[in-house]
Amino acid sequence: MSFRAIRVTEDEQGRHAAVETLEDERLPPGEVTVDVAYSTVNYKDGLALAGKGIVRTFPLTPGIDLAGTVADSADPRFAPGDRVVLNGFGRGESKDGGFAERARVGADELVPLPDALSTRQAAAIGTAGYTAMLSVLALEDAGVAPGDGDVLVTGAAGGVGSVAISLLAARGYRVIASTGRPEHGDYLRELGAADLVDRATLSAPGKPLASERWAAAVDSVGSHTLANVLAATRYGGTVTACGLAQGLDLPGSVAPFILRGVRLQGIDSVYAPMESRRRAWTALAAELDPAHLDSITETVALADVIPLAPRILAGRVRGRTLVDVR
């Protein structure tokens, strides 16, 4: 059988992405073959499609997410017809990922889908949404309660930010959205943001400590933004850090940690243990408003994915981009 896939190749002229038709023999080794229904476009996929950084082997099928149905399994945990989702584990970076009609993967990488989520919904949530839930659960584990005060979400109109706002508001937190795109103010309020702040107020170099403003924060931006968020976090508050949309650096001081007992909790989705993944997916199935998920999701065909790379890298994509692979 043959299947369509986006392939990133490298030659003397550089790196190129194109849709190709491959034979099943080109599938990599693995216990489970999946008929992929959907993938999504995350920031990392933008990097891979643009031939930047993260691709570690060529040729490679990008796509850090996939959701679909098991076609064939050599592992007793999965049978043909099972609906599954896969996020990370190096897919789309060092191993073939989800921008393909078929994928062969390790059984240890797959999460069986909760009945309450359709395959389409699971894909729309994708790495960004599952990372948002990991962040929310980290705040819960740190003891941040809804009555504690304002919770800031940075990178608000992006994939992680949009889902985080919806999840936190549904749990009863008062959410403040930091965005550089005030034109999406109505969208952010509809997801549950009580108020907005201009991201420019956070993105320049700031003081080691500022007045105590945030009970907690979910940050996907890094750099000066994260340093300023930490500096304005209230005594004993917690900040989660998952992203680097502004930068990989963290140009701050230890003052928030040693003078206010602020906690900085890193969030990694790629190699998160299966127990954390199942917990996050179960919570997403129970808590994420399907109407919100619809409102943040734009759907594109596999053939339309490659031109999206510059847009997501420039921070111009809103919410989540679902790829209908079929």
Q: Which residues bind ligand NDP (CB under 6 A)?
A: 42-44, 127-128, 131, 155-161, 179-181, 199, 203, 220-221, 225, 242-246, 267-270, 312, 315, 317
CB of 258 to ligand NDP, least distance (A): 25
Quote the DSSP letter at residue 144.
-
Spatial distance between the Cα atoms of 271 and 269, rounded to a whole number of angstroms = 6
CB of 132 to ligand NDP, least distance (A): 8
Neighbours of 47 (CB within 10 A): 19
Residue with the shortest CB distance to ligand NDP: 158
CB nearer to ligand NDP: give 139 or 245. 245
CB nearer to ligand NDP: give 195 or 268. 268
CB of 130 to ligand NDP, least distance (A): 8
Position of tokens 């596999």? 302
Strands (E), 59-98: 65-73, 83-87
CB nearer to ligand NDP: give 71 or 197. 197
CB nearer to ligand NDP: give 24 or 108. 108
CB nearer to ligand NDP: give 142 or 196. 196
CB nearer to ligand NDP: give 208 or 310. 310
CB of 128 to ligand NDP, least distance (A): 4
Spatial distance between the Cα atoms of 307 and 80, rounded to a whole number of angstroms = 34
| Cβ–Cβ < 8 Å for 269, 127 | yes
CB of 115 to ligand NDP, least distance (A): 25
CB of 160 to ligand NDP, least distance (A): 4
3-state helix, strand, coil in the chain (%, to 5): 35, 30, 35
Spatial distance between the Cα atoms of 272 and 12, rounded to a whole number of angstroms = 36
CB of 317 to ligand NDP, least distance (A): 6
CB of 104 to ligand NDP, least distance (A): 23
Neighbours of 297 (CB within 10 A): 22
CB nearer to ligand NDP: give 228 or 246. 246
By DSSP bridging, strand 2-11 and strand 14-23 are: antiparallel
CB nearer to ligand NDP: give 83 or 199. 199
Question: Phi and psi dihedrals of 96, rounded to 5?
Answer: -60, 135
Spatial distance between the Cα atoms of 170 and 168, rounded to a whole number of angstroms = 5
Spatial distance between the Cα atoms of 234 and 79, rounded to a whole number of angstroms = 50
CB nearer to ligand NDP: give 26 or 181. 181
Helix (H, G, I), strand (E, B) or coil at 87: strand
| Cβ–Cβ < 8 Å for 43, 326 | no
All residues at 6 or more sequence positions from 254 whose CB lies less than 8 Å from its CB, including other chains: none
CB of 215 to ligand NDP, least distance (A): 21
Spatial distance between the Cα atoms of 310 and 50, rounded to a whole number of angstroms = 7
